[in-house]
Each structure stands twice: as structure tokens, then as C-alpha cells.
Amino acid sequence: MADTSITKVDSKFSPHGPDGQKYLASGTQVAMRLWENEQPGEAKEDARRDYETVGFVISGRAELHLEGQMVLLEPGHSWVVPKGASHRYRVLEPFTAVEATTPPAHAHQRDE
């Protein structure tokens, strides 16, 4: 029998990660998180993750440095960070974006 459960998450009550992300709905194969009003600052350190990330910019601007390339992220842009790729972000102006990760980057199973 197929899974018939429904998950609804109200972001007002979502758990927050250590970097300010809000964890949204997640399933067995994908999870969502919200980066809301992230403030400008220095680029974060390069990271490699054991999941793929896709994102969508709601407002603001940021740079995504990915494997030696840089792309500017602006409202309406979407992006992909492949699993294992070296990357970092630099927020240029207050930034809000939604990301989905697969496999899920769950709220209580990892720090970032």
C-alpha cells in the first residue's frame, strides 16, 4: 500500500538550524528549508555536502561560488549544487530563498 500521509508545516513554528535556516516539510526522499532575510557578510567557508541542493531566490542577491565558478543569484533565479561539489555563498543584500535537498538534510540529523 502507498504512503497516504500528508505533511504540512507552518514556517512560523519550524525548527531553526544553527545557521538560521528554517526546516520545512520533508519526506523520505526530499526536504525543504527556508533561508529568510539572511544578511550580507563575508562568504562562508567552502563546503561539500552529501546531498544535492536545488534552490529558488525569493528576494535579495547572493553569489554562489561553485567549483571555481561564480554565479549571481537574484529574485526568480534557481540553482543546483550537485552532491559533493565544493561551494560557498556570499550574501550581497538581505536574501530569502527556499532550498530542497535530496536525500533530505533533516532538522535533527545534521548541523547544516
What confidence tens digit (pLDDT) does each residue in 42-72 have?
A: 888 899 999 999 999 999 999 999 999 999 9
111 or 24: which leads in pLDDT: 24
Tens digits of residue pLDDT in 91-104? 999 999 999 999 99
For residue 107, the model assigns a pLDDT of 52
pTM of this structure: 0.87
Beta-carbon contacts of residue 91 (< 8 Å; ≥ 6 apart): 38, 39, 40, 41, 60, 61, 62
